[in-house]
Amino acid sequence: MTALEKFDAATSAYLQNLRMKNTSEKTLRNYATRLTLFRSYWISNCEDAEPETDPDYSVILSWRDAMLNGGKKATTVKQYLNELSYFFSAFRKPLFGRELQYPVNPVEPEFYPKTESRPYDIILPDTKLSRLVVNECPASQMRAMWPRNYAITAILLTSQIRNSELLDLRLCDLDFENGEINVEHGKGNKYRCVQFTPFAQSAVRLYLASGIRAADAPDTAPLFGTTAAHEFGTFTSGEAQWHRGSSQWLSSVVERHVNSVTGVPGVRTHDLRHIGSRLLLNAGASMEFVQSELGHSSITTTQRYCGRLMQRRGQNSAKEVIAAMAKEALRNEKRMSLSAAV
């Protein structure tokens, strides 16, 4: 077996093993893509027709430098190297057969590029966080897209779901009667149920009434989407195509929306997950409930996560924000009633 045949066989075995562990299809695609990228670089930079020996330190370092020089962010390169390290570590012992063994992991920790550390979350003062709750479109934002952006923010802030989980949401996943959101494909392809607060419900109802999402779209089509070309979840209505948005699309929507309302730039979708968790803690929620909302497999992960958030309890009281949510939910329902009466 040549070095290349060994790598290809190991890749197939590795992905199959991950699939047996119920790893999500998205994660499997990501791993397959990164391993393919490395394979292509390894072959193209080989002096012979194909590599004669297993990848070594020099190949890893060369690939890292090529990615950085090609314009990839240090955080992205670090992620690629990390995933490659997981791959080689899985074959350090002959669990998949001695012919597929890589006794030495060529990805050393010191190979990772240095990245700038950023705060665990961006702190929004209560006054600015309350602005995020109010349903008033600022002049700086496109009024046509306001209901969608407002609803996205409301769900992220109150349900603590992840970026990919929100993108996968369908209308049929929302239970208005019981106040629950069914997350069918969470991290690790696990199912969980999270809260669907009256505030978030009112925001979603306004969004659905706005006409941004095609009225004839089936309940199984993405709840939030875009008409830009995308490979997942296409729904065609007339000449328009409704697609599952990408992670980059969602991040851009959230960052622009929060900045236009609060004046705070750089707020990510994950920051809203952090802020929502902090609100739950400040409102007296148990650690077990927060674990369930966040979708953590281990309570230890939640304790580490919440330990950082609870250090900020004195900075952000939940009372003002929760009161604003309750008030705005009533205002939104009143808007719906008035619109229906016209």
126-163 tens-digit pLDDT: 677 788 888 888 766 667 888 999 999 999 988 888 88
Q: Residue 117: inside a domain, yes or no?
A: no
Q: Residue 164: inside a domain, yes or no?
A: yes
Residues 92 and 220 in one domain: no
Q: Give the amino acid at 229.
A: A
Residues 177 and 281 in one domain: yes
- Tell me the C-alpha distance between 205 and 80, whole Å: 40
Residues 32 and 59 in one domain: yes
Residues 6 or more apart whose CB falls under 8 angstroms from that of 223 comprise 169, 170, 171, 173, 174, 204, 213
Residues 67 and 177 in one domain: no
pLDDT at 231: 37
For the cut 70, the answer to whether the pLDDT of residue 11 exceeds it is yes
How does pLDDT run across 71-117, given as a tens digit for each residue?
998 888 999 999 999 999 988 877 778 888 888 899 988 888 887 65
C-alpha dihedral, 26 to 32 to 37 to 38, nearest 10°: 130
Order the strands of the 192-195 sheet from edge to edge.
174-175, 180-183, 192-195
Domain residues for the domain of 176 are 126-341
From 62, 88, 111, give the residue that closes a domain.
111
- Tell me the C-alpha distance between 129 and 275, whole Å: 9
Residues 6 or more apart whose CB falls under 8 angstroms from that of 252 comprise none
CA end-to-end distance (rounded Å), the chain: 75
- Tell me the C-alpha distance between 58 and 39, whole Å: 14
Residues 37 and 150 in one domain: no
Mean model confidence pLDDT for the chain: 82
Which CATH number fits the domain that encloses residue 102?
1.10.150
Residues 34 and 162 in one domain: no
- Tell me the C-alpha distance between 341 and 319, whole Å: 34
Burial class (CB in 10 A: 0-12, 13-18, 19+), 98: exposed
pLDDT at 120: 52
From 57, 77, 111, give the residue that closes a domain.
111
pLDDT at 320: 72
How does pLDDT run across 156-208, given as a tens digit for each residue?
988 888 888 999 899 999 999 999 999 887 776 778 888 899 999 999 999 99
Listed range (38-47, 245-254, 291-300) with the worst mean pLDDT: 291-300
For the cut 60, the answer to whether the pLDDT of residue 210 exceeds it is yes
Residues 189 and 299 in one domain: yes
pLDDT at 233: 45
Q: Residue 289: inside a domain, yes or no?
A: yes
For the cut 80, the answer to whether the pLDDT of residue 49 exceeds it is no
Which CATH number fits the domain that encloses residue 233?
1.10.443.10
CB 159 within 8 A of CB 182: no
Cβ burial 26-59 (10 Å sphere, 16+ → b, else e): bbeeebeebbeebbebbeeeeeeeebeebbeeeb
CB atoms within 10 A of CB 140: 10
- Tell me the C-alpha distance between 224 and 164, whole Å: 12
Strand residue runs (E) in 261-340: none
Strand residue runs (E) in 62-195: 174-175, 180-183, 192-195
Q: pTM of the full predicted structure?
A: 0.66
- Tell me the C-alpha distance between 197 and 107, whole Å: 46
Q: Residue 120: inside a domain, yes or no?
A: no
Number of structural domains (the chain) is: 2
Residues 101 and 175 in one domain: no
Structure tokens, 226: 């875009």
Q: Residue 158: inside a domain, yes or no?
A: yes
pLDDT at 64: 93
- Tell me the C-alpha distance between 249 and 96, whole Å: 39
For the cut 90, the answer to whether the pLDDT of residue 123 exceeds it is no
Residues 107 and 212 in one domain: no
For the cut 60, the answer to whether the pLDDT of residue 285 exceeds it is yes
Whole-Å CA distances, 235 to 3, 26, 182, 204, 205 = 44, 20, 21, 20, 20
From 80, 111, 142, give the residue that closes a domain.
111
Helix or strand (DSSP H, E) at 27? helix 25-44
Residues 101 and 131 in one domain: no
Query: Roughly what angle, to the nearest 10 degrees, separates helices 146-159 and 198-210?
Result: 160
Residues 202 and 71 in one domain: no
Q: Residue 107: inside a domain, yes or no?
A: yes
CB 186 within 8 A of CB 192: yes
The H helix count followed by the E strand count for the chain is 13, 6
Residues 290 and 141 in one domain: yes
Q: Residue 118: inside a domain, yes or no?
A: no
Q: Residue 121: inside a domain, yes or no?
A: no
